Amino acid sequence: MTTFDSITPQLATQAIELPSWAFGNSGTRFKVFSTPGTPRTIQEKIADAATVHRHTGLAPSVALHIPWDKVEDYDALRDVAGERGLALGTVNSNTFQDDAYKFGSLTHTDAAVRQKAIDHHFDCIDIMHATGSQDLKIWLADGTNYPGQGDIRGRQDRLAESLQTIYGRIGENQRLVLEYKFFEPAFYHTDVPDWGTSYAQVSALGERALVCLDTGHHAPGTNIEFIVAQLLRLGKLGSFDFNSRFYADDDLIVGAADPFQLFRILYEVIRGGGYGPDSPVAFMLDQCHNVEDKIPGQIRSVLNVQEMTARALLVDGSALRAAQDAGDVLGANAILMDAFYTDVRPDLAAWRESRGLPADPMAAYAASGYQAAIAVERAGGQQAGWGA
């Protein structure tokens, strides 16, 4: 029987990167709501990310999105983050907001447009050198809306060529991670719609090219933990974008729609060697907070991942394997369910206190006065938001 005390050394190594854009105003395609205290600069986004880390101990780095977070001096930005106890993490490219990319970016038929997109990624790599970032994450909106609109195979060929050019520029200690999404904004076909396409593309590049799995980017009913197991088996799972969805794709708080799914995913991550300081798999949130407050939304998100990680670590692996080998269907299922139904929240609260953290980070943040303070301090100026 695995006890909570026995898993705390593993829990202590957990690190979940926060997305800078989660602290800006965001919404649906119909409306973006503004809120008091929303950051106006990347420096203020970093301050909010540091607040999440201060209350949880779980979020020691913040991801950048270029050009949204572009600055003149990245050494200075790294110093700002370091002074707040954070590192600058993944650099995310953006080839979905420029008019030139209406019909594609890295897959466009026009070589000049493809080069524009490639040059943007070169800029991102230069930023990685300046910030010490390990990962360049690429998500593409490229695709078509109607049958016959584009040459599906030709677009794959052009994508492969573009990615090879970008991959050739990354440093020896850097990685390219390719995200996939099965639809939106392209509705007939998307150029990187699934893990298989991402895997095929990165496998052709080299060992430092990997797949990014966004937990919200799958069709209903998809067995995401199977994909996790397969990519770990193949050595090609580079990172997670944790979020949640109910109907179509969205960036809701991770674990909100299906906590059991999150548990199952994390069990496969742990079982497959994807968890811990020596693992190549990076944990990151990719969420946008529309109706909920942003900082508490990020706090709740990392706590949800921590809780389901704790439950997954409690699975009695030896007993499970024995039941599986014996063909004990219900017994094996019960072992997983026992771990999932274990309420680890009191143990986590006590453990946090033993480490000098608030037992209840959500309540501690609410009582801190931080939200009221930034609402006053950040009056005026242009709030950061989707596209800024």
3-state secondary structure of 129: helix
101: in domain: yes
Instruction: Give the least confident one: 59-73, 142-156, 374-388.
Output: 374-388
Q: What whole-number percentage of the chain has pLDDT above 70?
A: 99
Say yes or no to pLDDT of 28 above 90.
no
- Say what the pLDDT of residue 31 is: 82
The H helix count followed by the E strand count for the chain is 14, 10
- Say what the pLDDT of residue 29 is: 72
Our count of domains for the chain comes to 1
Q: Which domain holds residue 216?
A: 11-313+344-377
pLDDT (average), residues 290-301: 95
CATH code assigned at 19:
3.20.20.150
pLDDT band at 387 (very low <50, low <70, confident <90, very high): low
96: in domain: yes
- Say what the pLDDT of residue 361 is: 98
**What does the block give as tokens for 99?**
């008019």
- Say what the pLDDT of residue 45 is: 98
pLDDT digits (tens, 9 = 90+) for 95-154: 999 999 999 999 999 999 999 999 999 999 999 999 999 999 999 999 999 999 999 999
156: in domain: yes
- Per-residue DSSP letter, 17: B
Phi, psi at residue 285, to the nearest 5°?
-90, 150
77: in domain: yes
- pTM for this prediction: 0.96
331: in domain: no
- Say what the pLDDT of residue 270 is: 98
pLDDT (average), residues 55-60: 98
174: in domain: yes
pLDDT (average), residues 297-313: 98
- Say what the pLDDT of residue 26 is: 83
What is the full DSSP assignment across 218-239? Answer: S-TT--HHHHHHHHHHHT-EEE
163: in domain: yes
pLDDT band at 221 (very low <50, low <70, confident <90, very high): very high
pLDDT (average), residues 279-307: 96
3-state secondary structure of 181: coil
pLDDT (average), residues 48-72: 98
Greatest CA separation found in the chain? 66
328: in domain: no
Q: What is the rounded CA–CA span in Å between residue 29 and residue 195?
A: 26
pLDDT digits (tens, 9 = 90+) for 249-277: 779 999 999 999 999 999 999 999 999 99
Sign of the C-alpha dihedral computed for residues 191, 100, 26 and 368 taken in this order: positive
Query: HEC profile for 72-101?
Result: CCHHHHHHHHHHCCCEEEEEECCCCCCHHH
Contact (Cβ atoms closer than 8 angstroms) between residue 146 and residue 178: no
- 């039941």: which residue's tokens? 323
Say yes or no to pLDDT of 193 above 90.
yes
- Say what the pLDDT of residue 135 is: 98
From 252, 176, 171, 188, select the one nearest 214 (Cα to Cα): 252
Q: What is the rounded CA–CA span in Å between residue 117 and residue 350?
A: 49
Contact (Cβ atoms closer than 8 angstroms) between residue 283 and residue 242: yes
**What does the block give as tokens for 65?**
């999105």
